[in-house]
Structure 1
Amino acid sequence: MGKIICFISEDFADFEITLAFHKIKNIGKKEIFSMGYNYESVISESGLYYKPNLTVNEAMELEDIEGLIIPGGPIRNQQKELTELIIKLDQEEKMLAAICHGPQYLARSGILNRRNFTTSCSIERIKELDVEDPFPRENFIDQRVVRDEHVITAKGRAFVDFSFEIFDYLDIYQGEHRDKEQLFKDIMDR
């Protein structure tokens, strides 16, 4: 069974990933882990406490990671070990999925330099924060969700679409529902 890892940090937007992880665990029967730089609890944007059960360094040692999901949150500094993990997973062509401001980590790792992507983090927001823009803006596409090979990015308001793109990539429903509109209806009716 492959593992799906979720990187969590202080003030991350937990609402953007709950649907995805609910279905990955319960329908896809995947093993899921929350990952941080260390084991210290973080408080999400919603005010809930989350405790990582894996560090980034420990994740580097795992052999059966199927994908990494990165929720949105504030623009933050990035530690070297996260960059190394992202590059490793990219080289192994594992799913890299990031939403809202989460693609900042993929951008700083160089992953978006050769791929189309989207993000909620506008140029105006970067100027407002007075930080260096991590994004290669020439590859930005103004869409709700962008999938380029094994890399999935989304705007924060598109968290349902993001989840469905992940389901499709991981074949969570194993061909059971190929029509996304019908799948959405089936999920919402449960």
Structure 2
Amino acid sequence: MGKILCFISEDFADFEITLALHKIKNVGKKEVLSAGYDCGVVISESGLHYKPDLTLDEAIGLDDIEGLIIPGGPIRNQRKALTELLIKLDREGKMLAAICNGPQYLGRAGLLYTCRYTTSCSMERIIQLGVDDPFPRENHIDKRVVRDGHIITAKGRAFIDFSFEIFDYLGIYRGKNEEKARLFNDIMDR
């Protein structure tokens, strides 16, 4: 059984990933680990405190990673350890799933130059922030969720769609289509 990593850093948008991680762990029976730049506590956008299970440097040494999920959060600088992990997982064809502003890290690692993607971060926002644009805009598609091979990206408001795209990629509900449809309908009816 492979591990699913989730990158967490200060001010990450925890609400965007809770459904996906909950079902990956409890329905998919996969091990979910949080990874950070270090093992210090980070505070999410919601104000909850999280302590990473391992560092990104430790994660690079794992050989049983099935995928990495990157939640949204502010536009931030990127450290070498995250770039190295992303490049390693991309070379291995592992799932890379990023939502909202999370695709910024895929862009800085050079992974969005060869695939279609989406993000919540507009060019106008980048100009407003006065930072270098991490996105190759020619590959951007204005959709809620985009899956191109092993890379899944989504806008922040599409966190349910994002979760279901991850479930499909990982085969979480394979052979359980009625259960999956019931879950989706229950969530959408609220």
Q: Which TM bucket (shorter chain)? A: over 0.9
Q: Where does the alignment leave 5 or more consecutive residues of structure 1 unmatched?
A: none
The C-alpha deviation readout for 1:94-130, integer Å capped at 9, x for no partner, is 0000000000000000000000000000000000100
Retained in 1: the 8 A contact 2:173–2:180? Answer: no
Q: CA RMSD in A?
A: 1.6
Q: Which residue of 1 aligns with 2:12?
A: 12
SS of 1:83's equivalent in the other structure is helix
Moved more, 174-183 or 144-153: 174-183
For 1:108 and 1:10, the matched residues in 2 are separated by: 18
The C-alpha deviation readout for 1:56-100, integer Å capped at 9, x for no partner, is 000000000000000000000000111010000000000000000
Q: Which residue of 2 aligns with 1:57?
A: 57
Q: Which residue of 1 aligns with 2:135?
A: 135
For 1:91 and 1:178, the matched residues in 2 are separated by: 35
Q: CA deviation at 1:146?
A: 0.1
SS of 1:66's equivalent in the other structure is strand
Q: Which residue of 1 aligns with 2:150?
A: 150
For 1:172 and 1:106, the matched residues in 2 are separated by: 24
TM-score, length-scaled by structure 2 = 0.96
What is the identity, as a one-letter code, of the residue corresponding to 1:10? E
TM-score, length-scaled by structure 1 = 0.96
SS of 1:143's equivalent in the other structure is coil
1:87 and 2:87 matched: yes
Q: Which residue of 2 aligns with 1:103?
A: 103
Q: Where does the alignment leave 5 or more consecutive residues of structure 2 unmatched?
A: none
Aligned length in residues: 189
